[in-house]
Amino acid sequence: MNYSFKKHDWDGTTVYGVESSDKKILSNFGSWGWTPVKIQNIINGVEASKIKAYGKEYNWSSEELELYANKKGVLLIDMMAQRAGQKDPSSSTLKLSHNEILKFLNDFKIFVENN
């Protein structure tokens, strides 16, 4: 996956941005209020989901994004696209392996820690 992180200052409020050329849904992680602890909580949930069955998955959500993870992998849902009426799941969802999302989240956590 190709992605990069940006830090923006909006009148004293730090906003973290995520840009991805190949997985645009990842940009929905961009927001204010991120801390290493919040990101670590998601990492812990995804790690624990590796043995969870369908229906018992780990779930995390924000206004823009919803994440479901179980032993089969991780599904990200673009909530903004769905609210806008986009019904095609191929353009409003992203399936990732545990390793892919964990690498992304760990990279994001390091970026937030350093900024």
> Which tens digit of pLDDT belongs to each residue from 26-35?
988 888 889 9
- Strand partners for 68: 59, 75
Which stretches in the chain have pLDDT values below 70?
none
Backbone angles phi, psi at 71, to 5 degrees: -65, -15
Rounded Cα distance, 24 and 91, in Å:
9
Q: What pLDDT score does 8 carry? A: 92
| pLDDT value, residue 90 | 76
Note if the pTM is more than 0.85. Answer: yes
